[in-house]
Structure 1
Amino acid sequence: MIIRLPDSVQKPFYDRGALAPGMAHIGVGAFHRCHQAEYTDDLLSLRFDRWGVVGINIRPPLLSETLGRQGGLYTRLVREDNRVEARAIGSMVSVVDSQDSAAPALDVLASADIDVVTLTVTEKGYCHIPSSGALDFDHSDIVHDLANPLIPRSVPGILARALELRMTTHGHPVTLLSCDNIPTNGVILANVVQSMVEKRGNGLADWIAANVAFPSAMVDRITPATSQADIETVEQHFGYRDAAVVVGEPFRQWVIEQKFASRVPRWDLVGASFVDDVTPFEHLKMRVLNGAQTTLATLGVLAGLEHTSDVIADALLATFVRRMLLEETLPTLMPVPGVSPEAYVEQSLGRLRNTAIRHRNHQIATDGSQKIVQRLLNPILDRLRRGDSIALLSVPVAGWMAYLILASARFGGRWPVSDPYADKVAGIADATGDDTKALASAILAIDTIFDPELAANRDFRAAVTGALDGLLSADPMGLVRHMVEPAAATRLKLPAQSA
């Protein structure tokens, strides 16, 4: 990035040359650069301190080709309809590529200079079982790391080794802060790391219990994948080229559990919230905003629409998702101080209408098997336990199934998909063919996604099977039309029953 930026681009209000590292981040994708790194940039401008970020990627892409060449400096664009605002973010002091070997990442993570490690590694990066949150001991990377703890390649394995190095070298405590869209993400992170060290027998588990904190957090900002058009926007509108540009909406939110083992940046001074319990906030966001995104993404693909803004502009799908949220999702939520759930629904749908955020439905649908538990299945289970209707919430569950089924060769391979369970669902499709009931039954038997109590529930099975039958028909939107018809508004209250 050129040194002289135009006046129209906001620049860091501090001396980057004096900035020293104090935290590391694993998974330097667009979301981190548009969220946590921006909060840190704000804090450094307000209260300069040793909070430079060392970015680490243990998976592609290579940082050296983008951020490395620019000294960690990059452009954050905020887009809202016709408005574009550019800002240079300076909080990242260096970057580390650690795809070929864990050694470079371990050197950073084990350093006594690092007080906080944040992570955005996506749901599947935790190598956990979505239905239970436990470490997946059958995961190939976990099998490798348990056999070769000194040369790990998974996130849990790398963190376990880094903590071991910290214990044996300087003993400084550290806070590991997950910023991924997983419920109780701090608990999940603690579970997978502690599961990696339980068999070592060298006192590491006890040291972690006394010196490492795993706070949970809720993060929110819609950040689509950067496109070539975004890079060209910076070049054309602002006069310089930035290969690491990121794009986000104006809205942002960060709620962090107050549970720290070491010095922590005062992000609460620049808009984040430190709270005692993140759970109500994460339920609200995951079940409403993220639930709407997953619903609109898969149904949108089935309707032939490319972007979220295209789907929410469709009157039928917009009506369906609003009714689903208001009628079935909201009653499952815990009270959130100072927040009206109904207003939050309208705010969330309004954010999804932003035509300048070109969020592709296929991108949102990526790794859907890792997302539907917290976004759809948990609220469904809550409603079933109370004997409430799940007619609307069952449709996007069937939508996820249909999305993967129609991507299989047996059903014509209509689109490429990225999901850890894509091959398994394709195998089920090959084995069962056009029998919708058999398709649904076999997919519901995947107990790493579907809680056995839920999968065995007769009403849930019937609702999902019926919805899947409609979505796999020649007129998938016919099912959605039926669900929003006035006659469908009067739903039978399901009798309370055990699964």
Structure 2
Amino acid sequence: MSAVARNPLLGPVSLNRLPEAVQRPAYDRTRLRVGMAHIGVGAFHRCHQAEYTDDLLAKHFDRWGVVGINIRSPDLAGTLGRQAGLYTRLIRENDRAEARVIGSIVSVVDSQASPEPALEVLASSDIDVVTLTITEKGYCHRPASGDLDTAHPDIVHDLSNPHAPRSVPGLIARALELRMSTHGRPLTLVSCDNIPGNGALLQNVVQSITHRRGNGLEDWIAANAAFPSTMVDRIAPATSQADFETVERGFGYRDRAVVTGEPFRQWVLENRFAGRFPRWDEVGVTFVDDVTPFEHLKMRVLNGAQTTLSYLGVLAGHEHTCDDMKDPLLVGFVRRMLLEESLPTLGPVPGISPEAYVEQSLERLRNTAIRHRNHQIATDGSQKIVQRLLNPILERLRRGEAVRLLTLPVAAWMVYLVKASDRFGRQWTVDDPHAARIAAIADRVGSDAPALVREILSIDAIFDRELSANAAFRQAVVAHLEGLLEDPMGHLRHVCGLPLAAQLNHATHTA
């Protein structure tokens, strides 16, 4: 038997036998009571909100243990749950790896097959706060408008079967209904997904469901529930085999629920709660009256850069963001796009220099230890490009300003989906709610760029009608699409032109 095979599995029994190099919860977990639930216990939550809560429990111990609710595969109740909620958070930066065991998650319930386990937790009088990381498509909304997508199959089901919901908005609506009819305790629901006004969006989709019930639930929610908006930030890629091996070989124990993140983290939270809430502001969370400036900065700069690099990186043959950041053409384009077209759409951000934030963001993306795959970032692009690219484009067009740079990643997103069609030989597999529709368009019209753009812009769930009807926008996207379909890197060099070459040369000499 190898030394690795003899390593103990992480759990309450092995916790105190871990090496000193591994940081452990600085409180007695046996005394920890439940006060929160989290829907979607994926890598990001465990690398972000759960860590902040772990910090808070160490500083000011209180009843803020978390019950994780697993609503999709993989079955985390069988991995994280088997370890009594304990897991390792690895911080990776180039050659450095730091291990910390997080203890704030008390248990995990699996609710993939039935909503009942989740409803039991969410309706409990012990739960005062619910946080969510369910990705953009989990809200079952129309990205262009923020309205509930009443044609979504899960929403269609939930409107007819309110007691057995399939969607997260339906699940929350039913849980609030159960709370109203039993103990009546208030509830704060905190969306932690990368969507502008995520709290307002969550409230809107939930109330769009409850409005149809006519049993007083809508009024009860207005008086007893809060939906604060929030901005969250930490790059946390999918866990790799190398991460599991780092824990086993480097620290001497096994953990099947490892998560990996970068050193940087940030959380800005709207100061609006119903009832008791964790004082995360004591451990670095910024409570504000308006999250909007922070979320726009993050989405249009950091996330805008990630989305742009993911599509252009795939077209350039790169696998990871850190590979993209070694390509001077891609780096130079993204910096120029952010500085010349994205930043002018932003207002003042308290305590932050937008120009410095651009450079900080690009530096974070260079981290060679964060193996964030371009295809992973490209997932669900139709749900992401609205806030990252289309909204700033529309704002600039309304002011009569150029959008030649911001429209390139929009065209690159189209090419990414088009090249997954039969007509283009299915060059890769994509995961996007509109992938099948766009592939069908490509199969029908082929490489006719004007026809492709016309058909894709007609998807009003993504494209605002004012934007899709704008001639300057259409022309820019068509020109980029033609160039990217013919020669992606050649077109990028053409777009960048001499000013960018001079900028890159200057950056090389001053580095």
Tell me the TM-score normalised to structure 2 length: 0.95
Is 1:477 aligned to 2:489, yes or no?
yes
Question: Which residue is equivalent to 1:153?
Answer: 166
Question: Which residue is equivalent to 1:333?
Answer: 346
Q: Is the 8 Å Cα contact of residues 482 and 488 (structure 1) preserved in structure 2? A: no
Is 1:78 aligned to 2:91, yes or no?
yes
Which letter maps to 1:148? N
Pairing of 1:198-237 with structure 2 (within 5 A): 198-237=211-250
Which letter maps to 1:123? E
Distance 2:90 2:273 in 1: 32
> Which residue among 476, 485, 503 is the counterpart of 1:463?
476
Is 1:99 aligned to 2:112, yes or no?
yes
Which letter maps to 1:243? R
Question: Which residue is equivalent to 2:425?
Answer: 412
Which letter maps to 1:140? P
Q: Report the CA distance between 1:64 and its aligned residue.
A: 2.0
Question: Which residue is equivalent to 1:353?
Answer: 366
Is 1:296 aligned to 2:309, yes or no?
yes
Distance 1:57 1:325 in 2: 37
Which letter maps to 2:463? F
Distance 2:499 2:334 in 1: 17
Is 1:448 aligned to 2:454, yes or no?
no
Is 1:431 aligned to 2:429, yes or no?
no
Distance 2:86 2:474 in 1: 51
Question: Which residue is equivalent to 2:32?
Answer: 19
Distance 1:253 1:480 in 2: 33
Q: Which runs of 5+ in 2 are unaligned?
A: 1-9, 503-511
Q: Report the CA distance between 1:57 and its aligned residue.
A: 1.0
Q: Is the 8 Å Cα contact of residues 145 and 461 (structure 2) preserved in structure 1? A: yes
Which letter maps to 1:423? A
Q: Report the CA distance between 1:481 and its aligned residue.
A: 0.5
Distance 2:77 2:148 in 1: 31
Distance 1:441 1:195 in 2: 31
SS at match of 2:253: coil
Distance 2:107 2:302 in 1: 33
Q: Report the CA distance between 1:24 and its aligned residue.
A: 0.1
Distance 2:495 2:278 in 1: 48
SS at match of 2:218: helix
Q: Report the CA distance between 1:125 and its aligned residue.
A: 0.1
> Which residue among 276, 281, 303 is the counterpart of 1:268?
281
Q: Which runs of 5+ in 1 are unaligned?
A: 491-499
Distance 2:479 2:212 in 1: 46
SS at match of 1:25: strand
CA displacement 1:37-68 (0-9 Å, x = unmatched): 00000000000000000000111111222111
SS at match of 1:321: helix
Which letter maps to 2:36? M
Distance 2:315 2:143 in 1: 25
Distance 1:166 1:61 in 2: 29
Distance 2:163 2:29 in 1: 35
Which letter maps to 1:182? I
Q: Is the 8 Å Cα contact of residues 483 and 489 (structure 1) preserved in structure 2? A: no
Pairing of 1:176-187 with structure 2 (within 5 A): 176-187=189-200
Q: Report the CA distance between 1:487 and its aligned residue.
A: 6.2
Tell me the TM-score normalised to structure 1 length: 0.97
Distance 2:434 2:177 in 1: 33
SS at match of 2:171: helix
Q: Report the CA distance between 1:312 and its aligned residue.
A: 1.2
Q: Is the 8 Å Cα contact of residues 70 and 77 (structure 2) preserved in structure 1? A: no
Q: Report the CA distance between 1:338 and its aligned residue.
A: 1.3
Distance 1:459 1:300 in 2: 26
Question: Which residue is equivalent to 1:389?
Answer: 402
Which letter maps to 1:71? A
Greater mean alpha carbon deviation, residues 342-351 or residues 227-236: 227-236
Distance 1:135 1:487 in 2: 44
Pairing of 1:115-264 with structure 2 (within 5 A): 115-264=128-277
Q: Report the CA distance between 1:479 and its aligned residue.
A: 1.1
Distance 1:417 1:148 in 2: 32
Q: Report the CA distance between 1:191 and its aligned residue.
A: 0.4
Q: Report the CA distance between 1:330 and its aligned residue.
A: 0.3
Distance 2:229 2:147 in 1: 16
Pairing of 1:40-55 with structure 2 (within 5 A): 40-55=53-68
SS at match of 2:268: strand
Query: Any runs of at least 4 consecutive aligned residues in structure 1 with deviations exceeding 4 A, and if so which?
Result: 487-490
Which letter maps to 1:483? V
Which letter maps to 1:390? V
Which letter maps to 1:391? R
Is 1:486 aligned to 2:498, yes or no?
yes
CA displacement 1:265-297 (0-9 Å, x = unmatched): 011110110000000000000000000000000
Q: Figure out how many residues of one structure are paired with residues of the other and give that number.
A: 489
Q: Is the 8 Å Cα contact of residues 311 and 416 (structure 2) preserved in structure 1? A: yes
SS at match of 2:420: coil
After superposition, the CA RMSD in angstroms is 1.0
SS at match of 2:190: strand
Q: Report the CA distance between 1:486 and its aligned residue.
A: 2.1
SS at match of 1:118: strand
Distance 1:484 1:433 in 2: 27
Distance 1:381 1:467 in 2: 17
CA displacement 1:71-117 (0-9 Å, x = unmatched): 00000000000110000000000100000000000000000000000
CA displacement 1:413-457 (0-9 Å, x = unmatched): 001110000000011001111211101110011111000000000
Query: Taking every aligned residue pair, what percent have the same amino acid on both sides?
Result: 72
Q: Report the CA distance between 1:488 and its aligned residue.
A: 8.2
Distance 1:121 1:255 in 2: 18
SS at match of 1:237: helix
Q: Is the 8 Å Cα contact of residues 336 and 500 (structure 2) preserved in structure 1? A: no
Question: Which residue is equivalent to 1:309?
Answer: 322
